[in-house]
Amino acid sequence: MQRNGVHEAPIVCMFTTIQKLEHVIRTIYGDSTLSFGGESLWTVPVQGVGQGNGAGPQIWAVVSTPVLNMLREEGFGAYFRASISGEKMGFVGYAFVDDTDLCETSGFQFANASTVAIQMQRSLDHCEGGIRAFGGAIVPEKSHWYLIDFKLDQGNWHYATKEDAPATLTVQDSTGQRCTLDQLSTHEARRTLGVRLAPDGNDQEEVT
């Protein structure tokens, strides 16, 4: 936040308040006698920005942008050429609050799915390292990935299955342990920011 011009005093004020808050439950029958938090509970604060903080999305943008820029500078990302204009375009991924999607394509026309998966693993490791550097972590249980490839069958292109293009991605969790991420098939939808999306475009899970 200071890197983007915010003075130290309001930063200290906001985070000190969050870290030292004492929470009680208020009901129609009164406030709870038990509480959570307070000045002496934690030697290391358990809260970051805090869910519901009005400045949360902006702070995440400030924190995540250097990580995405780092990935871009290292050459990671998805790159395409428009079919009509021939214009080149590329992006590293998407980030909204703490929900982040990384995308990776091969820079070689005839590269196979395994090559892209290896590149994606390197991108993921770089991203995780950047997030860990500012005190965050990737939660493997909340993460998943797709390997999108195609195969030709009787003159028609189809999405390749996980069996057609086997691969594995792992990530380091908050304790330093390597965890294998769930790989989903292109027709499988997973909830992302409230909407269930599948790479092949089907909306069956969302309708259900």
Q: Walk along the chain (208 residues) in steps of 10 and give the mean pLDDT of each run.
A: 94 91 92 86 76 87 90 93 92 82 83 90 95 88 93 92 91 94 94 89 94
Contacts of 129 (CB under 8 A, 6+ apart): none
Amino acid in position 91: F
Q: Which pLDDT does position 41 carry in this prediction?
A: 66
What is the amino acid identity at position 62?
A: V
What is the secondary structure of 137-170 as a DSSP string?
A: ---GGG-EEE---EEEETTEEEEPPTTTS----E
Tell me which residue of 25, 19, 15, 12 sits closest to 41, measured CA to CA. Answer: 19
Alpha-carbon Rg for the chain, nearest whole angstrom, is 22
Provide the 8-state DSSP code for 77.
S
CB 59 within 8 A of CB 1: yes
Q: What is the pTM of this model?
A: 0.81
Q: What does the alpha-carbon distance between residue 22 and residue 39 come to, in Å, rounded to a whole number?
A: 8
pLDDT at 204: 94
Hey, what are 166's tokens? 């086997």
> Would you state the pLDDT for residue 11?
94
* Whole-angstrom distance, CA of residue 104 vs CA of residue 63: 21
- Return the axis-axis angle of helices 56-73 and 113-133, rounded to nearest 10°: 130
Residue closest to 14 by CA, chosen among 44, 43, 55, 51: 55
